[in-house]
């Protein structure tokens, strides 16, 4: 007995088991959707009626030919997702292009008063100084201080999220009972749903007083922002890290126990090395998502645009790339907006690169374990 295999594009959309009239329904819905998109682009005033027409036609088709309409909707959702990502990427790079063409590498140089700009690597001769790095009124658009602040906050966040996320994942995957695991893991994942501005506000209110009292610091700092961003990354690190540890074949742990190893020795010598790629990917993915969080950092960090003095002072503060965009775009001129898009491109490249690296590491782990559960 042979199966009906879709051989044409129409069958691939409506399915090999389509019934009479389903093709007409699918074509009608697709046509209405295309018309809605075109009207939205060229006649926005008529977009709402067309959208309602699309919803009505889709509802009728769903009641009559549910399977075929479901296939079409899944295809449409996939295509729209890809197009949306492509459009955002194109718009971001296209908007940043004028600033790249006008200022070039000047965006990554340190200006010197009375001289030419210098590279960031020549810090020993130009920092600390009174140079103006960011002042749209005078045409100074150096993103180097904000890049440095982003690096410092990310390092602190990694120092928080890495160890805590690893031990949290170990506890859930290796130590906790099944009943306790069912309670803890959803609770950890719920943390990801807390708005970033809430993290920032609570972090500032709770940590700021502690820092002022114990470290004699008088305000927000890289340390507070890094701790908050690290806590925001914890749900991702714990969840993905636990999945990586759970994917280690049970036979490996059983063999270690049979050889007389303790539970901790098994975790230290078997579970962590076997799942190290996945744990590394969890930390990278968690930090990548946290780096893009704007409101938490903007609620904590100062909007200053000078380097910390000295550079490694974690109790100093200035704007990161995200907080710079959040605090500047409202009153920015056209040329300043172009430079802010450059900062957005940098963030996009950083986060996308970290995501790609994490996926590569996860695939290596899956190949290493050969897909065994």
Question: How confident is the model at residue 219, as a pLDDT?
Answer: 64
Q: Are residues 341 and 221 in the same domain?
A: yes
Helix ranges (H only) for 216-275 are 222-246, 250-258, 263-266, 272-274
Confidence category of residue 3, pLDDT binned at 50, 70, 90: very low
More confident residue, 249 or 91: 91
Question: How confident is the model at residue 56, as a pLDDT?
Answer: 92
More confident residue, 270 or 168: 168
Question: How confident is the model at residue 20, as a pLDDT?
Answer: 60
pLDDT at 307 over 80: no
Q: What percent of the chain has pLDDT over 90?
A: 2
* DSSP β-ladder status, 109-110 and 118-119: antiparallel
CA-derived radius of gyration, the chain: 26
Which residues have a Cβ under 8 Å from the Cβ of 52 and sit 6 or more positions away?
none
b/e string for 133-155 if b means 16 or more Cβ within 10 A?
bbeeeeeebbbbbbbbbbebbbe
Question: How confident is the model at residue 115, as a pLDDT?
Answer: 47
Q: What percent of the chain has pLDDT over 70?
A: 81
- Mean pLDDT on 52-63: 89
Q: Are residues 82 and 34 in the same domain?
A: yes
Strand partners, 95: none
CATH number at residue 276: 1.10.3720.10
Domain-located, residue 10 = no
- Mean pLDDT on 42-64: 88
pLDDT at 262 over 60: yes
Q: 145-177, pLDDT tens digit by residue?
A: 888 888 888 888 888 888 898 888 888 888 888
The H-or-E segment that residue 153 falls in is helix 144-170
pLDDT at 339 over 80: yes
Q: Are residues 157 and 56 in the same domain?
A: no
Mean pLDDT value across the chain: 78
Domain of residue 235: give its range: 117-123+134-371
- Mean pLDDT on 35-40: 89
Report how many domains make up the chain: 2
Domain-located, residue 109 = no
Confidence category of residue 52, pLDDT binned at 50, 70, 90: very high
Beta-strand (E) ranges in 166-222?
A: none
Task: Determine the Cα–Cα distance for residues 99 and 110; give it in Å rounded to an integer.
Answer: 17
* DSSP β-ladder status, 118-119 and 134-135: unpaired
Confidence category of residue 369, pLDDT binned at 50, 70, 90: low
Question: How confident is the model at residue 19, as a pLDDT?
Answer: 55
Q: Are residues 155 and 94 in the same domain?
A: no
pLDDT at 332 over 60: yes
Q: Are residues 200 and 261 in the same domain?
A: yes
Question: How confident is the model at residue 129, as a pLDDT?
Answer: 57
Give how far Cα 364 sits from Cα of 260, 270, 278, 352, 358, Å. Answer: 30, 17, 9, 18, 10
Domain-located, residue 62 = yes
More confident residue, 237 or 205: 237
CA atoms within 13 A on the CB side of 340: 19
Question: How confident is the model at residue 90, as a pLDDT?
Answer: 92
């Amino acid at each position: 007995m042979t199966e009906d295999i879709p051989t044409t594009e129409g069958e691939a959309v409506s399915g090999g088991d389509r019934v009479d009239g389903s093709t007409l329904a699918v074509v009608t819905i697709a046509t209405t959707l295309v018309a809605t998109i075109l009207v939205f682009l060229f006649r926005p005033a008529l977009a709402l009626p067309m959208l309602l027409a699309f919803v009505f036609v889709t509802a009728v088709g769903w009641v009559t030919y549910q399977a075929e309409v479901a296939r079409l909707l899944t295809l449409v959702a996939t295509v729209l997702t890809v197009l949306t990502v492509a459009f955002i990427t194109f718009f971001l790079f296209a908007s940043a292009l004028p600033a790249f063409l006008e200022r070039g590498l000047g965006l990554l140089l340190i200006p010197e008063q009375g001289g030419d700009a210098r590279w960031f690597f020549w810090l020993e001769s130009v920092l600390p100084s009174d140079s103006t790095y960011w002042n749209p009124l005078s045409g100074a658009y150096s993103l180097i201080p904000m890049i440095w602040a982003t690096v410092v906050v990310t390092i602190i966040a990694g120092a928080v999220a890495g160890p805590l996320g690893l031990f949290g994942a170990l506890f859930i995957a290796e130590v906790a009972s099944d009943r306790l695991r069912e309670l803890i893991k959803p609770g950890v994942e719920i943390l990801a749903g807390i708005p970033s501005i809430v993290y920032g506000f609570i972090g500032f209110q709770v940590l700021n007083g502690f820092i002022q009292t114990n470290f004699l610091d008088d305000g927000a700092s890289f340390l507070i922002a890094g701790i908050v961003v690290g806590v925001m990354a914890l749900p991702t690190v714990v969840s993905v890290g636990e999945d990586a540890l759970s994917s280690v074949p049970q036979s490996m742990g059983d063999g270690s126990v049979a050889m007389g190893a303790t539970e901790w020795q098994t975790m230290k010598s078997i579970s962590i090395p076997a799942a190290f790629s996945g744990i590394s990917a969890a930390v990278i993915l968690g930090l990548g998502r946290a780096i893009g969080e704007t409101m938490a950092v903007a609620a904590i960090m100062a909007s200053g645009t000078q380097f910390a003095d000295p550079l490694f002072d974690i109790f100093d503060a200035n704007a990161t790339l995200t907080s710079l965009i959040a605090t500047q775009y409202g009153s920015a001129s056209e040329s300043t907006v172009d430079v802010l898009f450059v900062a957005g491109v940098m963030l996009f490249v950083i986060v996308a690169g970290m995501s790609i690296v994490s996926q590569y590491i996860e695939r290596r782990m899956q190949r290493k374990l050969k897909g065994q559960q």
